[in-house]
Amino acid sequence: MQAAKLFGSSETWFLVGGTTCGIQAAIMATCSPGEHIILPRNSHISAISAMVLSGAIPKYILPEYDCKWDIAGGVTPSQVGKAIKELQMDGKKPAAVFITSPTYHGICSDLSDISQLCHAYGIPVIVDEAHGAHLGFHPQMPHSAIKQGADLVVQSTHKVLCSLTQSSMLHMSGSIVDRERICRCLQTLQSTSPSYLLLASLDAARAQLGENPGTVFNKALELASEASTIIKTIPGISVLDLLSFNEFPAIDPLRLTLGFWSLGLSGYEADDILDRDHGVISELVGTQSITFAINLGTCREHTQRLVSGLKKLSMSFLHSKTTEMRVESREHAPFNDICISLNPRDAFFANKRSVSIKESLGKVCGELICPYPPGIPVIIPGEVITEKALNYLLDVRKKGAVITGASDSHLSSIVICDV
């Protein structure tokens, strides 16, 4: 989709055809081949493809992780500062810092302090705010990434706001990033035949917010708060809050992440029951939890159906003789022991072959493998395949996750690089 530009006081908006395109353009516009980019290891696959396109070399940060929930959190300013200093000790300066905030579960990083830190070094901050296009439109919500000083922010306007699927925005603020380079990158990545239907839907979403920006989310926030309060009283069901991620300033109040281990259920099992028996469809399913998204289209009947389904789930499994406390023994994220043999671009173009999963251990991965949703890679091309990563993938697949990126979704074989 060809870029259409709108101008504000100190900010430029580019209307783009999907978040993937926006993230790729942002990274290509800030990173040249051989330059380093600091980013969390659990970044979306679009950031990996952007490194293939740009030739940027990753400097990964391992995000905060809660093993009970099996959820990765955000990135702290101290982690970013440490990564910058480690590169400096090697005589290198990062071309950009990339942060995902909020995460799919709604966990927000301290972008204000991260931006201030990076700008002191003249480093631009890119934020994947795909799930946060609504932030800043109500005093009960966290501030938006642009408000906190980020330079480039990519939003999926269709996720919580009301534009059509695949319509997104790339926001630019400040003067660190060259606006003309952003335009050239977008022109390279986008179609020359833009969908004006998608563009019109973005403008309609903007107009909807513009009519009553301070109150448009009143009803959604009320429903989310009511549901959360009731769910916390249901025996055997846990609600994710900042006690699990106390390093971070906020969790999106429109995200409800629920744990079911006290009922002896995985997230996948609970999701199947809620879908099959109660017509409740979740936003995101994990090994230990389910996440629900409240948005402008949510009504009280929806949240009442969710609460009713959860109460019946609790009644059915809380006192079952087969119920056991199911908490994974996993102490670290599945990607905490990564070893990079090739950068993503070199791995992408390397000669490859397929081997059995047993033969792949210790080899250099040639494909991007991740459970979906949310599309967070467990193994990235160029990384050495570890036993921990393989066990995690096999485990989540057994529990019901869909494996994407792999040529063999059943994981009986894996593509490796010939190095």
Integer Cα distance of 287 and 269 in angstroms: 9
Q: Does residue 369 register a pLDDT over 80?
A: yes
Q: For residue 333, what pLDDT is reported?
A: 65
Integer Cα distance of 106 and 360 in angstroms: 35
Burial class for 327, CB neighbours closer than 10 Å (0-12, 13-18, 19+): middle
Integer Cα distance of 397 and 405 in angstroms: 13
Q: For residue 6, what pLDDT is reported?
A: 42
Q: For residue 9, what pLDDT is reported?
A: 40
Instruction: Outline where DSSP puts E strands in 204-259.
Output: 238-239, 250-251, 255-259
Q: Mean pLDDT across the stretch 59-83? A: 93
% of the chain residues with pLDDT over 70? 91
Q: For residue 405, what pLDDT is reported?
A: 84
Integer Cα distance of 307 and 311 in angstroms: 6
Expressed in angstroms, the distance from the first to the final Cα of the chain is: 38
Q: Does residue 71 register a pLDDT over 60?
A: yes
Q: For residue 84, what pLDDT is reported?
A: 98
Q: For residue 1, what pLDDT is reported?
A: 38
In this structure, CATH architecture of domain 5-211: 3-Layer(aba) Sandwich (3.40)
Per-residue confidence at 17, pLDDT binned at 50, 70, 90?
A: low
Q: Does residue 93 register a pLDDT over 80?
A: yes
Its pTM stands at 0.92
Crossing angle (nearest 10°) for helices 387-399 and 267-278: 20
Side-chain-side CA neighbours of residue 165 (13 Å) = 0
Integer Cα distance of 242 and 269 in angstroms: 25
Q: Are 209 and 22 in contact (CB under 8 A)?
A: no
Closest-CA residue to 152 (of 134, 131, 175)? 175
Structure confidence by residue, pLDDT tens digits, 156-194 = 999 989 999 989 999 999 999 999 999 999 989 988 888
Q: For residue 5, what pLDDT is reported?
A: 43
Q: Mean pLDDT across the stretch 267-274? A: 94
Cis before residue 139, ω within 30 degrees of 0? no
Structure confidence by residue, pLDDT tens digits, 21-64 = 999 999 999 999 999 999 999 898 899 999 999 999 999 999 98
Q: Does residue 326 register a pLDDT over 70?
A: no
Domain 344-417: homologous superfamily in CATH: Orn/Lys/Arg decarboxylase, C-terminal domain (3.90.100.10)
Q: Which range, of 72-76, 270-274, 369-373, averages the lowest pLDDT?
A: 369-373
Q: Does residue 7 register a pLDDT over 50?
A: no
Q: Which range, of 172-181, 386-395, 409-418, averages the lowest pLDDT?
A: 386-395
Q: Hey, what are 127's tokens?
A: 């934020």
Per-residue confidence at 232, pLDDT binned at 50, 70, 90?
A: very high
Q: Which range, of 166-175, 213-222, 321-330, averages the lowest pLDDT?
A: 321-330
Domain 218-317: homologous superfamily in CATH: Aspartate Aminotransferase, domain 1 (3.90.1150.10)
Q: Hey, what are 246's tokens?
A: 């106390």
Q: For residue 16, what pLDDT is reported?
A: 64
Crossing angle (nearest 10°) for helices 77-89 and 111-120: 20
Q: For residue 334, what pLDDT is reported?
A: 66
Q: Mean pLDDT score of the chain, rounded to an integer?
A: 90
What are the extents of the domains in the chain?
A: 5-211, 218-317, 344-417
Q: For residue 45, what pLDDT is reported?
A: 87
% of the chain residues with pLDDT over 90? 71
Per-residue confidence at 392, pLDDT binned at 50, 70, 90?
A: confident
Q: Does residue 329 register a pLDDT over 50?
A: no
Q: Mean pLDDT across the stretch 195-206? A: 90
Q: Collapsing DSSP states into helix, strand and coil, what is residue 221?
A: helix
Structure confidence by residue, pLDDT tens digits, 291-321 = 999 999 999 999 999 999 999 999 999 877 4
Structure confidence by residue, pLDDT tens digits, 100-128 = 999 999 999 999 999 999 999 999 999 99
Integer Cα distance of 71 and 140 in angstroms: 24
